[in-house]
Amino acid sequence: MNKPLISVVTVWLTITIILFSMPVVQSQEFDFELLEQKVQSFAVIINMKLEVSFGIHTAEQSERYLGTIVNRDGMVIFNGTSLTSNAGLPAFSGFTVKTNPTYIEVSTLDGKTYEAEYIGVERFTGIGFIQIKGGSDQFTPVEFKGDQEFRTGDWLSLFMLLPEFINPPLAADVGMISTLIESPEHFPLTVGFNSLQTTAVLFNGDLQPVGVLGALMDPSMANTDPSGLLESFGQFGIPLLGVITAERLQRMIADPPRQGVVDRGWLGISLQALTRDMVEYWGLDLSGGIIVNEIMSESPAEKAGLAVGDIISQINGQQIEVDKEEKLPVFQRLMAELGPGAAVELTVIRRSETRIDTLSLLATLEAAPMAAADADEYECKSLEFNVRNMVFADYMANNLEAETFNGVVVSKLKMGGPANVGGLRIGDIIQRIGDSEISSVEEAELIMTEIETAQPAEVIFFIWRQNQTLFVNVKTNW
């Protein structure tokens, strides 16, 4: 009676052993010695000193990354997620989380050392860019293979950076394509790798670099403030990792993101998802869409002829599959990635009491409004506070008119400093300093320079805080 059971168990154990031994067998097909030689030519180690500021708190920290040279002039990519700003913080809170590199050193694996300067971080992938100050030196870049056809079961390899106390500095790892995700974006998903290896170059079985390791973006977790990043998601908080393809990387390398430069497209609407209930109620033959709730003045949407209540069903002939609020960032990301100057054809459903019309409207996207983290800032060292220029989100959140309301936003305070003790708060909008009206950080700097020369016993700030005006008297200590 026990023989059939033993047979089943034996077969199960045999299958299990075969499955678990497959990675070992497959990984032996990679010529890791040759692969390491390739990596040595374009891999670098980045040592970076960072200043992290959040409101009244500032800290310094050091980070170490594995970088990849991507052009002959010495541009390098790395995992830049730690340099992203304002994660999850609305601009109107006044808080800006800023992580600024104060020093960057790049070391090649043959021992050469260079200083480098920070360029920026791509907001949807978290890939950071720096530029080596190499003078006339020419570098050997990675050459990504485009048009790679990924299939479930394909094996990939990479090299990762080991802790500083370990020599040699790099170690190999293998993984494979587990599935090809189509929604919310095309993404070859992998297993076998971990998030510490993010932005490491991925090689196929022919030892060709086909992309870098990245994380799938969850549109339902997106921060819709233009300064925010989409968050990676996965079951039980484990990020879903996969291939950021060569084609996508080549576009970024050709036009890398630059700190303080707005490169995101903007249509200028507030929006709502076209849910299935709405589709049924209105009797529409749609699987999703975007309902226009509000149109910003002088925006691309207004110029294109969009109206409140319109339903955008297609973009450039492609159906919009947004049928719940959680999917709205899919549309927002599409607009952002198309970029300023992109012409988009919008198929619009316009309803009235008697009829439903289908319109085709052409809109030219403009640069997205500047985010709080990108706004110009002035540091007043004598009173120990920082202010930044107002941005679009400040006006929207406070229901203020940009044409008639001027000021600068308190973005940073030193704990126990004169401004902090005197009563200024993060998020206060300073409209006047003394008798002088303030509309920009340049004006704030000019007035504070005059005050520092005069050295009065106190400085009076006229501010806007939580929909009311206040006077704040800051005692000086020259």
Query: pLDDT by residue (tens digit) across 73-83?
Result: 999 999 998 88
**Residue 262 pLDDT class (50, 70, 90 cuts):** confident
Average pLDDT (321-340) is: 86
Of these ranges, 78-92, 222-236, 285-299, the one predicted with the greatest mean pLDDT is 285-299
Question: Which helix or strand (DSSP H or E) is residue 155 part of?
Answer: strand 155-161
* Residue 108 amino acid letter: T
Q: What is the mean pLDDT of residues 379-390?
A: 94
Secondary structure E strands in 226-329: 241-245, 265-266, 269-273, 290-295, 311-315, 318-319
The third-level CATH classification (topology) of the domain covering 375-475 is Pdz3 Domain (2.30.42)
Q: Name, in order, each residue with C-beta under 8 angstroms of 28's C-beta and a sequence gap of 6 or more.
A: none
pLDDT above 70: residue 361: yes
Per-residue confidence (pLDDT) for residue 85, from 0 to 100: 54
Query: In whole angstroms, how far apart are CA 11 and each of 6, 19, 25, 38, 325?
Result: 9, 12, 20, 42, 48
Q: What is the pLDDT of residue 63?
A: 94
Task: Give the N- to C-terminal CA distance of the chain in Å, as an integer.
Answer: 95
Across the chain, what does the average pLDDT equal? 86
Q: Please tell me the predicted confidence (pLDDT) of residue 24.
A: 45
| CATH fold label, 29-259 | Thrombin, subunit H (2.40.10)
The whole-model pTM stands at 0.73
* pLDDT at residue 179 greater than cutoff 80: yes
145 pLDDT above the threshold of 90: yes
The CATH architecture of the domain made up of 265-367 is Roll (2.30)
Residue 454 CA to residue 451 CA, distance in Å, equals 5
> Is pLDDT at 221 greater than 60 in this prediction?
no
Q: Please, where in the chain does CATH 2.40.10.120 lie?
A: 29-259
3-state secondary structure of 302: helix
pLDDT of residue 59: 83
**Mean pLDDT confidence for 246-252:** 94
Q: How confident is the model at residue 334 (pLDDT cuts 50, 70, 90)?
A: confident
Average pLDDT in the 374-378 region? Answer: 87
What pLDDT sits at residue 302? 95
| Interval 186-211 mean pLDDT | 95
Does residue 124 register a pLDDT over 60?
Answer: yes
Residues carrying CATH 2.30.42.10, the chain: 265-367, 375-475
Mean pLDDT value across residues 121-148: 89
Chain segment 413-432, per-residue pLDDT in tens = 998 999 999 999 999 999 99
Angle ∠(113,140,256) on CA atoms, nearest 5: 85
Q: What is the pLDDT of residues 39-54, one digit of tens each?
A: 999 999 999 999 887 7
Q: What pLDDT is recorded for position 352?
A: 87
